[in-house]
Chain A
Amino acid sequence: MKKEEFKNQEYKYGFTTEIENFKAPKGLSEETIRFISKIKKEPQWMLEWRLKAFNRLKILKEPNWQKPKYPEIDYQNLYYYSAPKSMKNKPKSLDEVDPKLIETYKKLGIPLNEQKRLSGVAVDAVFDSVSVATTFKGELDKKGIIFCPISEAIQKHPELVKKYLGSVIPISDHYFATLNSAVFTDGSFVYIPPNTRCPMELSTYFRINASGTGQFERTLIIADKGSYVSYLEGCTAPMRDENQLHAANVELVALDDAEIKYSTVQNWYPGDKDGIGGIYNFVTKRGACRGKNSKISWTQVETGSAITWKYPSCILQGDNSVGEFYSIAITNNHQKADTGTKMIHLGKNTKSKIISKGISAGQADNTYRGLVDIGAKASNSRNYTQCDSLLMGNKCGAHTVPYIKNKNSSSTIEHEATTSKINEDQLFYCNQRGLNQEEAVSLIVNGFCKEVLQQLPMEFAVEAQKLVSISLEGSVG
């Protein structure tokens, strides 16, 4: 097998699509922001909003408290907007979309063609800085569900965007969130009207293709009273020996009795065996349970990226609201993950549950960092946290940094964490029954992750299970 082919086996989404790009001028400046805003045909208020964030960014400093350190990012040497040339004038139907793009998504296993679709998944495909296509729009329209690229929502539903954009992640938040607010390009917008159950899974597929670019996507999901939506997110990028920045903001808003289920399978290019290349995944995800009895559930499978740094959080404002966080983070070779969640209990009788599974192999570092904060007014609240780490070899590290705050005598917080290696007896048992070492490890790891994998929607669960095995290939023996 040729070296190239072998490489592709390790990370099968590492190909590049040769396509002509249309880019913004290099560098971060007011012009770039005006350029993005103009090309997206945004209204004046949106531009002002971006500029406000940009002004704020000037006085902010990059955070440096997180465990994974990275070389300084030259923000002036990045492209903040890159789109396939054929997308300059937005195609009206799939037939007008560049066949090369469709081919790319086919290769990734993402059906843009509704006839050949996977059953019951509507997809919004984002390629670099633009949304390529959104499927099943018609069917969703009938129910009054809005599922479209956020750039389209800014034009068509300004009242909703104005009301909710930045209401969970304010533009004055930390450095990367503010950077995103200033230069975000595309992402998905979802609005579920009251008392509606979204009939299918909504999904966004993010693809970074162009080199020297950063991807800044922005997703906003609003579940109105009594509604339900399940949303999936997937992502891949080509193999390059440069580090690319991905700084996304995701905001969720759940009103009274609404429920949002947000699942991520993150498979950005993790860099090669020696830690060269890979995506810096610095993402801000936050959900607000605004209404009574609302629920937000985050599920994530983190296998890719050179550095992952994200904390999907829940702000439990409404009484009786529920926040959940299920996470698997797998790091191999030189990957570094610093991930966890924040559960901020403000309303009465709020509940949260955190299940985090970290697996480190090779020379990787895996950190769970979380906050559980029960406020003085959040009486009768409960939290349960469990974070387990699995280590393979003594060159990798597993760390747990939980912050636990309880300001209330009627609330209960429970936290548990363990760190161990794969049980020798279990391995021996599997070997005895004819599984080789790698199969055995994969089986045991899958069992270790089961609690989280179960939370994923069917279509994703199968894929995620395979991903777990592939990510650990070569880490045993």
Chain B
Amino acid sequence: MRHLKNIFRLGVKELWSLARDPMMVVLIVFSFTFSVYSASSALPETLNKAAVAIVDEDDSPLSLRIFSAFYPPQFIPPERIPIEEGDRGLDTGKYTFVLNIPPNFQQDVLAGRSPDIQLNVDATRMTQAFMGSGYIQQIVMGEVSEFVQNYRGSSESPVVLSLRFRFNQNLTKAWFGALVQVINQITMISIILTGAALIREREHGTIEHLLVMPVTPMEIMVSKVLAMGLVVLVSAAASMVFVVQWLLHVPVGGSVALFLVGAALTLFSTTALGIYLATMARSMPQFGMLIVLVLLPLQMLSGGNTPRENMPEAVQHIMLLAPTTHFVELGQSILFRASGLDIVWPSFLAIIVIGSVFFGISLARFRKSLVQMA
């Protein structure tokens, strides 16, 4: 009872401290509004203004037809270049794609000789290279077959693929971008807030004060974890409702409430991590450096930005220890795939276990380092 009272009072103090720190408030607001908004709207829709050049050695109506089939937003209107400039353009990165239409192309097509078109792709730009070449193939083949159809009757492919994208029919990247950003911000802000709260207290010398009062290190830490967790949770909820759903019109599949429960459990470990890092750093700048080194791997390898299957097996296994991995998994399941607790419970369980371990380690470290802080 006494513990709870102390935690409550210290927690309220944390909230006051935060409210009177304009920099942090701006950071929180910025991260959960502007940053989420821009992440969704800035993400290019699949293929965005790819640079194409065409070497047209045929100069026929068909090649012209192909030439004019490339237009924004997927492509910049292509440039017509002489054959010797193709390599140079690719070398300097000026063009990502160079399409080479051979001489007598139209004639050969109509004669059924099935001629080859060469498509040179700068494969150092991975995403564009892969998606773009698919698009270009479709466009070229489409133009060719339409052209031929106009000439003679059609012939249909015998087997059709009926493709359906589940959970995001049009593959709108903005949805994904916005939700991933919310998830990332929850991790980032919670680590920064708790860590900064502890370091600020140490820099101002107030931690000494707390320690001579009848409060335990446990109460100090729990109050920070709870207060900062609460702030992040409320901001995240507001961001989900107002920015993601209301402003960006992202259809959230599952229950936002369930997602927030998951977030709350994750916050347990990320805030503990913040405390841990703050005990390791001797000053704000050092804390900043540590955050860069810890946050980037946490965000990049947890499966939020790129699928986990792509990573080496060892990395996948190690990242199972990170709370964010499970958070991303449950976030995607709930928000995109409308899963319920019956499906995502293993992630919840993992987060709870990891959270308790993190919290325990952090508390032990915090207790020990208090001696040095005082």
**Are A and B physically bound partners?**
no
Binding site for A on B (CB under 8 A): none
